[in-house]
């Protein structure tokens, strides 16, 4: 145990030497030279623009292997994650834009932290004791992802790690009554990119009045590194024997239903596209994770044979929203001008269940004054 701890520390503080191969072509002759490049783990900051009279920055987290994750304090958004494929060729695995303007055009939550309540609340109404609260119904007839101006559209305060750790802490005060939610909520999200190519996301929050809370990250993944390839050929395992079926407005019916014998059975890895045709509209469902407590456990394994990449997801949360980018329809393009079509990318949003404030049988999303909300999710990339 002691030895393990020591090893981790020394890897973290190390400066990795990365071998880069440069190929130069001359008179039909190709020569290959191997040069040593130094990658310094840590974080850098650049100015990205302004909105709401506040400065927006882009932070680049780099680990000792040279893998980079970019995060903006606009929406606490992951804008890019570039890592090598099986041939050591780096490419991006999440949807995002190169400039702030892409985000100000309100894409469907690309890479953002979603809150105060991730996913839907039926008809934008809920009660805490006898107090009735009303939210904007921004996804008719329901409230979705925190409202008209949720956490994804706010400028957060950001504090980069002061040492060589690739870590960024973002904080935001959501005022009492903002988007209809009760209580001044202080929320902090810390992103850390480890040398094992894990993006660790830690969420903390406190309130001064009883409120509801469901925080998640809304990254859209395509492990091939090229959104011309649909995610329907990715292979997925979700450690969930049950899911929460929904009505036509995507509100859970309240039933916790077995996945056995249905297209929702991902307990053994299968191609996402195999049975998606039998799911009206595509997958956009909350899976009830088999884990029995709030320990950090592996819940998902996603694989792509083109790039050789695997994404593992670990969480302390009880659910995950598996969304196959059904509403992406080519109207939004990447910064490089490529249309983002249906199923070009997919989300694995770790969370509490949608509409929990109106569903007494679901795990509670109530946060009371004096309580400390804490949750952790880790996305881990590897190649074979």
Closest CB to ligand BGC among residues 128, 256: 256
**Residue 150 lies near ligand BGC (rule: CB under 6 A):** no
Q: What angle do CA 325, 281, 266 make, to 5 degrees?
A: 75
Asked if 352 contacts 363 with a C-beta cutoff of 8 angstroms, the reply is: yes
- How many residues in the shown chain lie near ligand BGC by CB under 6 A? 11
Q: DSSP letters of 239-298? A: --SEEE-B-TTS-B-S--EE-TTSTT--SS-EETTSSGGGSTTS-EEEEE-S--SSS-EE
Distances (CA, A) of 213 to 13, 86, 331, 366: 36, 39, 31, 6
CB of 145 to ligand BGC, least distance (A): 6
Question: Could you tell me whether strands 90-92 and 77-84 are parallel, antiparallel, or unpaired per DSSP bridges?
Answer: antiparallel
Taking the C-alpha atoms of residue 222 and residue 92, their distance in angstroms, rounded to an integer, is 8
Bond from prior residue into 241 cis (ω within 30 degrees of 0): no
Does residue 219 bind ligand BGC (CB under 6 A)?
A: no
Continuous H helices in the chain: 2-12, 100-104
Q: Is 81 in the site for ligand BGC (CB under 6 A)?
A: no
Q: Helix, strand, coil proportions of the chain in percent (round to 5)?
A: 10, 45, 45
Determine whether 218 is an active site residue.
Answer: yes
Name the residue nearer to ligand BGC (CB basis): 160 or 325.
325
What is the rounded CA–CA span in Å between residue 296 and residue 315? 5
Active site residue 349: yes
**Which CB, 61 or 114, lies closer to ligand BGC?**
114
Report the nearest approach of ligand BGC to the CB of residue 142 (Å). 10
Q: CB-wise, 284 or 304, nearer to ligand BGC? A: 284
Q: Which is nearer to ligand BGC, 193 or 259 (CB)?
A: 259
Under the binding rule (CB under 6 A), the answer on residue 250 touching ligand BGC is yes
**Considering 178, 179, 198, 349, which one is annotated as catalytic?**
349
The residue within the footprint of ligand BGC, chosen from 349, 357, 367, 378 (CB under 6 A), is 349
- Is residue 108 a contact residue for ligand BGC (CB under 6 A)? yes
What is the rounded CA–CA span in Å between residue 383 and residue 295? 26
Residue with tokens 């900051």: 45
Which residue in the set 63, 77, 80, 119 belongs to the binding site for ligand BGC (CB under 6 A)? 119
Of the candidate spans 17-25, 46-54, 320-328, 336-344, the one that interacts with ligand BGC by CB under 6 A turns out to be 320-328
Q: Which of 323, 353, 373, 379 binds ligand BGC (CB under 6 A)?
A: 323
Q: Which of 169, 178, 218, 234 is catalytic?
A: 218
Element (H, E) at 110: none
Residue 109 within binding range of ligand BGC, rule CB under 6 A: yes
From candidates 284, 300, 375, 379, binder to ligand BGC by CB under 6 A: 284
Q: HSE on the CB side for 210, CA within 13 Å?
A: 12
Residues 146, 225: Cα–Cα separation, whole Å: 30
> Quick one: which segment of 92-100, 190-198, 321-329, 356-364 binds ligand BGC (CB under 6 A)?
321-329
Judged by the rule CB under 6 A, the positions of this chain that interact with ligand BGC are 108-109, 119, 145, 250, 284, 321, 323, 327, 347, 349
**Active centre residues (catalytic):** 218, 349
């Amino acid at each position: 145990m002691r030895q393990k701890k020591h090893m981790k520390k020394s890897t973290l503080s190390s400066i990795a030497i990365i071998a880069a191969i440069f190929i130069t072509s001359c008179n039909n002759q190709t020569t290959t030279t191997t040069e040593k490049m130094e990658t310094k783990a840590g974080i850098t900051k650049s100015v990205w623009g302004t909105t709401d009279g506040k400065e927006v920055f882009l932070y680049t987290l780099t680990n000792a292997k040279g893998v980079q994750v970019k995060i903006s304090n606009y929406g606490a958004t992951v804008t890019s994650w570039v890592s090598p494929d099986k041939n050591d060729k780096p490419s991006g695995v999440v949807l995002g834009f190169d400039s702030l303007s892409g985000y100000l055009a309100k894409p469907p939550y690309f890479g953002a932290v979603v809150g105060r309540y991730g996913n839907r609340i039926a008809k934008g109404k809920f009660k805490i004791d006898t107090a009735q609260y009303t939210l904007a119904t921004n996804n008719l007839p329901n409230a979705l992802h925190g409202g008209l101006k949720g956490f994804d559209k706010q400028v957060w305060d950001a504090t980069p790690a002061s040492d060589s750790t690739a870590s960024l802490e973002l904080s935001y005060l959501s005022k009492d009554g903002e988007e209809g939610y009760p209580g001044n909520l202080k929320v902090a999200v810390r992103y850390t990119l480890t040398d094992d190519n894990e993006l660790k996301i830690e969420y903390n929050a406190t309130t001064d009045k009883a409120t509801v809370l469901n925080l998640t990250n809304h990254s859209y993944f395509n492990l091939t590194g090229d959104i011309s390839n649909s995610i329907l050929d990715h292979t997925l395992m979700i450690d969930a024997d049950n899911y929460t079926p929904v009505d036509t407005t995507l509100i859970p019916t309240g039933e916790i239903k077995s996945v056995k014998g249905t297209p929702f059975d991902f307990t053994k890895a299968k191609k996402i596209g195999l049975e998606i045709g039998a799911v009206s509209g595509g997958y956009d469902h909350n899976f009830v994770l088999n884990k029995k407590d709030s320990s950090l456990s592996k819940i998902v394994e996603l694989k792509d044979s083109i790039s050789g990449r695997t994404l593992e997801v670990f969480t302390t949360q009880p659910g995950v929203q598996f969304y196959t980018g059904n509403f992406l329809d080519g109207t939004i393009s990447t910064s490089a001008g490529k249309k983002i079509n249906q199923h070009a990318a997919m989300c694995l949003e770790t969370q509490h269940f949608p509409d929990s404030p109106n569903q007494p049988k679901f795990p509670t999303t109530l946060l009371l004054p004096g309580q400390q909300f804490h949750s952790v999710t880790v996305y881990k990339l590897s190649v074979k």
